Amino acid sequence: MITISSGEIGMQSNFPSTRLLVRFVFAIAIVAGFSVLFILLRESLPASVVALLYLIPVVISTSLWGLIAGIVTSVVSFLTYNYFFLSPFYTLHVARPQDFLVMIVLLGVSIFISSLMANVQGNLEKVEAREREALQLYKLSLDLTGQRDQAAIADILARRIHEFFQGCIIEVEVGQPGQKIKAIFPTDPADCLDGTPRQIPLTSQHGQLGVIRIGGLPDRIPPEEERLLQTFANQGALALDAVILSASETRAKILEESDRLKTAILSSVSHELRTPLATIQTAATSLFNSNLNLEKESRSELEGLLLEETDHMIQLVGNLLNMSRIEAGALKLQRQWNSLAEIIDMCMKRLERISSGHKILVNVSDDLPFISVDSVLMEQVIINLVSNSLKYAPAHTPIEISAGVEEDQLVVTVSNQGPAIPQEYLEHIFEKFYPIPGPEQAQGVGLGLSICKGIVEAHEGKIWAEDLSQGVAFRFTLPLGLGGAKPMLPEEAEEE
């Protein structure tokens, strides 16, 4: 979608025929230039080869000036080929039927190629338009994120809409009757909404929250602009809806504890997702932008960044789902006899990309007894503990995973050389939304360790953290038996 000022529209409407004529002249000139070259080589080039070479000016004209110019070039090439390269020369008479067939094929293929190229260009323009729309919506979303002031939301909407509909006057009115808030852009006092402006309501589940008025907009606009305008209105309504919800939460003192939990989840996830989403948007836009000639190293770096942030979002969403299942008591274990060494090997493959700055030492023997666990959830426990260590441990320091048997328990330890955890935090470190103090880049939602606690306790184990002489260790236990029974190895089953 391209925004054109009224002056530009007037100039284009005054000289459409002149522009078209200029394109035709250039198209014919290209055919003439190639024809001179082909005539010079007429003795050494067969007529069939010349027919193929005449597709070159057709492609050039279509790519530069569109379908009509391509069709004109096809017709002129058809006539020129007949006049200069088919016997008898310098006449439009065709002596042999096969020559006539070649001419028809030349004309048909030329027009077909012109149509195809015109469709490709049209699709490219649509893709570029969608890209611009997505970028504008992304900017609007970023501007509206976290806004809790209706006046600021109205002003942001008015400014963003005016960027697409230049030359129009945008007025956004929000608020309840008697408390209306208006934002007008541009703010020149001489500008006013004359006549009957176009109105788009800002509607949500709470009803109509406001209205957008646009003065100077034509009665009919392209469907793309209509869709974008409605999307802007929906985004504004969502932002206003968020303001109403926030105010309602503040007034609902009876549900203060429940509202605190919901607000914490929303604010934490919003903060956690904003960076990876912005990174993914930037990387994807660069990778799929055909106008950017990225070097191999730059492309590889963007692809790695895209995969890393996608894994980050997948892990965050997985943590949220697991926490909701734990809170609802719906965590169902799919317990099977598993080897801890094999579980850790799977974890190492998933952690390979994000652990490049550290060396992970695995000290887990293959001879350890089998354990009855849900392998998928147990992988989540180990991954969360190692990810937590990666955040807080200094760069290039080792992280060790070890395991051993103590009485009827399997004890697993994940240790790192990060800073010690203050004693007052050790008691609360596995609570929900209780991130460990540390660098800003290490701050997260505060769900990873609480999910580990829920999963380990569902397996009838215990988990805790303790400070070491040089670093921090997370330990958890798992029972070796299942309801008092232990796994039977294949050799023992055969003896019985």
CATH 1.10.287.130 maps onto the chain at 270-327
Query: Where are any strands of DSSP class E within 40-102?
Result: none
Q: Is the pLDDT of residue 299 over 60?
A: yes
**Residue 492, pLDDT score:** 47
Q: Which homologous superfamily is 336-479 in? A: Histidine kinase-like ATPase, C-terminal domain (3.30.565.10)
The mean pLDDT value for 300-318 works out to 77
Q: Is the peptide bond before 186 cis (omega within 30 degrees of 0)?
A: yes
CATH 3.30.450.40 maps onto the chain at 145-251
CATH 3.30.565.10 maps onto the chain at 336-479
**Residue 16, pLDDT score:** 54
pLDDT band at 416 (very low <50, low <70, confident <90, very high): very high
In tens, the pLDDT along 212-252 reads 888 877 777 777 778 878 888 888 888 888 877 776 666 65
Strands across the sheet containing 398-406: 359-363, 398-406, 409-416, 471-479, 463-468
Query: Given this structure, which CATH class describes domain 270-327?
Result: mainly alpha
Buried (b) or exposed (e) across 465-496, using 16+ Cβ within 10 A?
beeeeebbbbbbbbbbeeeeeeeeeeeeeeee
Q: Please give the DSSP secondary-structure letter assigned to residue 176.
A: S
288-292, long-range: CB within 8 Å, 24+ apart, which pairs? 289/131, 290/124
Q: Is the pLDDT of residue 108 over 80?
A: no
pTM above 0.85?
no
The distance of Cα 94 from the centroid of its chain, to the nearest Å, equals 59
**Residue 236, pLDDT score:** 83
The mean pLDDT value for 309-333 works out to 69
**Residue 258, pLDDT score:** 46
Query: Where are any strands of DSSP class E within 339-395?
Result: 359-363, 371-373
**Residue 490, pLDDT score:** 46
- The domain over range 145-251 is classified in CATH as 3.10.129.10: no
pLDDT band at 254 (very low <50, low <70, confident <90, very high): very low
Q: Please report, rounded to a whole number, the percentage of residues in the chain having pLDDT higher than 90.
A: 10
Q: Closest Cα to residue 112, out of 62, 76, 49?
A: 62
Q: Is the peptide bond before 57 cis (omega within 30 degrees of 0)?
A: no
